[in-house]
Amino acid sequence: MSVPSCYKKETKPAKFCPGCGHSIVLKMLGQAIDELGIQKDAVFSIDIGCSLLAWDFYDVDTVQTHHGRTTPVAVGIKRGNPKSVVIAYTGDGGAYAIGLQSLLHSALRQENVTVITVNNTLYAMTGGQAAPTTMPHEVTDSTPNGDFTLESPLMGPELVSQIGNGDLYIARGSVSNPMTLKKYIKKAITHQMEGKGFSFVEALSICPTNWKTDAKGSFEFLKTMEEVYKLGEINRDGTS
Amino acid sequence: MNKVLAIGNEVVVEAAIDAGASMFCGYPITPSTEILAGWAKRADVDKDLVFLQTEDEIAAGFATIGGILAGKKAWTASAGPGNILMQDSLAMAEAMRIPIVTYIAQRGGPSTGTVIFSQQELFLTAHGGNGEGMRIVYSPGNLQELYDYTFKAFDAAWRYRFPTFILSDGYLGKTFGEVIYHKGKTIDAKPMLQDKERIEKGEYVNIRNCYSLEDELAEVLNKDIEDFHKMSPKIVEYEELYCGDAELIVFAHGSVAEAVKAAVSMAREQKMKVGLFRPITLRPLPKEAMIKAVRKAKKIMVIEAAHGQFAKLVRDALFGATQAEYYSYFKPAEGIVPEEALEKIQEVL
């Protein structure tokens, strides 16, 4: 797979931990930006958490914001300049905990932006605490006995599909299948470019550092995630 | 020039439009709601004006920042508990030199409190972030000033690139009276993102507020502090009344200063040697002028609708510069009328 031409070369290798899934998601997004020819028109708006390490990842106009606030900033940019192609990038804590209100209301109001959320089931930057996406019985830094009480983690794309109005594009991909993930990202951005309204892609990702897994263990963990989180494009009624 | 009868919150909207504001993002909260609703009605007619009612004040502040990044002269308005929530975005604006204008209608606190009289949001507005308060804060006293300083705030914010506030209150926002609208010139807004001229040269910006090294942050912060101090003499404003021969100088700001102004005039009719010093910019504070004003004074008094927030600024500015006796009259979250201010002046003199 070729290195995206919109990469900011002098900041590579990137600052992510070895084996981090962010690099795969960002590579797919970079290729999507190249293939859609939107390097000059794109605005990349990023959250706090590990995602902030992408603040100088691309030669694309980028703004790093506050935790949970990348969606409202993206919305403001798009409202201020409807010709720009605005891509918000968040982790699962930013999208589903501290920033959930903004995510849902942006979908409700049919804001014409694209949000990409990386789900690795925990707060990675702060050392692996439980998130709304933590799976039942998952051991994290803040659930040491795996006694997290949620029967089901928060199903972000399904929730957005229930709340959002108008013509939504929603999908869940995984770093286990980067090409399909890229297809979803491209469809989401195209949805925005065609002025159709809110688009949202969740990317299941790996966090070897906080999962304390090796390469094999990381992909085994990801496989478990894919049993909990159904992959595919998601319809308005929440079905895939 | 256009003389009209208007209510405070309408005046604020008019001033913003005259100053070239083109986008407003907000969330309803008493006593600033009429600004949001007033802008919504204007935007409904004028399609060049962008309006967004967000899910909360946090999103309102951040969406406003988004608009500014995109090149709009975007602004917001809030009050009390909403002012608290907006500090999240305002701290980011401060860190990234984003020229946001925020109108604050102070209301009684703490917590939900009341909605008309208060000067308790001074610290929150001037220093509410996790930083050094690199902010410009105007404190207008009457309807005409509400227009003039709202207009001016847009020029100051975009010229100096510090978050700029009009620190008003519920009382002034609901005041009805005569105002002169006079369009003038303000500096143009330029996009920080998607500046096509720059991008055509193959240059992209990566804007951040997060740093890996203490040295990196210190470099940015020290530059901001230096810029703020360099700007301060150009931006400080104040009003003095009978300070020249005054034995007692009263310090007050905003709508309270209007009541004190009336009290000082009444006291002068009774031959009392009293003056008023009223900073119009509370941040930066006109420190040199304040020191000069109290040089001959034997007594100073601070009157405010808070329990000593403004007094702390005054005493800090005057530290070591005067031997004058110090008096105060604090009425947190209550209105102050000229007669009671006069009574306090009489007690002290």
The order of strands in the sheet holding B101-106 is: B50-53, B23-26, B74-78, B101-106, B164-169, B136-138, B281-283
Q: Which residues of B touch A69 (CB under 8 A)?
A: 58-59, 62, 88-89, 92
The confidence score (pLDDT) of residue A2 equals 86
- The full set of domains in chain B, from first to last, is 2-181 (3.40.50.970), 238-348 (3.40.50.920)
Q: Which residues of A touch B26 (CB under 8 A)?
A: none
Contact indicator for A182, A31 with CB cutoff of 8 Å: yes
Instruction: Provide the β-strand partners of residue B139.
Output: none
**B197 at interface of A, judged by CB pairs closer than 8 A:** no
Residues 6+ apart with CB under 8 A from B137: B122, B125, B126, B164, B165, B167, B281, B282, B283
Query: Measuring CA to CA, which residue among B94, B29, B85, B80 is closest to residue B57?
Result: B85
How many Å apart are CA B163 and CA B226, to the nearest integer?
16
What's the pLDDT tens digit per position in B220-255?
999 999 999 999 999 999 999 999 999 999 999 999
ipTM of model: 0.97
Buried residues in B232-245 as b, exposed as e (16+ CB within 10 A) = beebbeebbbbbee
Mean pLDDT of B114-133: 97
What's the pLDDT tens digit per position in A186-199?
999 999 999 999 99
How many Å apart are CA A11 and CA A57, to the nearest integer?
6
Residues 6+ apart with CB under 8 A from B117: B108, B169, B170, B171, B305, B333, B334, B335, B336
How many Å apart are CA A162 and CA A170, to the nearest integer?
11
How many Å apart are CA B279 and CA B240, to the nearest integer?
9
Q: pLDDT grade, residue A78 (50/70/90)?
A: very high
How many Å apart are CA A89 and CA B213, to the nearest integer?
24
Instruction: Provide the β-strand partners of residue A200.
Output: A115, A170
**Selected residues 32-71 of chain B with any CB under 8 Å from a CB in chain A:** 50, 52, 54-56, 58-60, 62-71
How many Å apart are CA B185 and CA B136, to the nearest integer?
19
How many Å apart are CA A88 and CA A47, to the nearest integer?
8
DSSP state of B185: -
From the options 3.40.50.2300, 3.40.50.970, 3.40.1710.10, 3.40.50.300, give the CATH code of A16-233.
3.40.50.970
Beta strands B101-106; B136-138: pairing state: unpaired
- Structure tokens of B349? 């003199």
What's the pLDDT tens digit per position in B267-317?
999 999 999 999 999 999 999 999 999 999 999 999 999 999 999 999 999
Contact indicator for B248, B300 with CB cutoff of 8 Å: yes
How many Å apart are CA A33 and CA A45, to the nearest integer?
14
Q: pLDDT grade, residue B210 (50/70/90)?
A: very high
- Percent pLDDT > 90 in chain B is 98
How many other C-beta atoms can be found within 10 angstroms of the C-beta atom of residue B72? Answer: 25
What's the pLDDT tens digit per position in B41-75?
999 999 999 999 999 999 999 999 999 999 999 99
Q: Which residues of A touch B131 (CB under 8 A)?
A: none
The closest CB to that of A64, out of B54, B71, B210, belongs to: B210
How many Å apart are CA B62 and CA B70, to the nearest integer?
12
What's the pLDDT tens digit per position in B255-268?
999 999 999 999 99
**B87 at interface of A, judged by CB pairs closer than 8 A:** no
Dihedral sign of CA atoms A202, A203, A208, A213 in order? positive
In this predicted structure, the answer to whether residue A167 has a pLDDT above a threshold of 80 is: yes
Burial class (CB in 10 A: 0-12, 13-18, 19+), B215: exposed
Report which residue type is found at B20.
G
- Percent pLDDT > 70 in chain A is 99
Q: pLDDT grade, residue A150 (50/70/90)?
A: confident
What's the pLDDT tens digit per position in A105-149?
999 999 999 999 999 999 999 999 999 999 999 999 999 998 776
Contact B194/A81, CB-based, under 8 Å?
A: yes
Mean pLDDT of A136-165: 91
Contact indicator for B242, B268 with CB cutoff of 8 Å: yes
Q: Which residues of A touch B204 (CB under 8 A)?
A: 8, 58-62
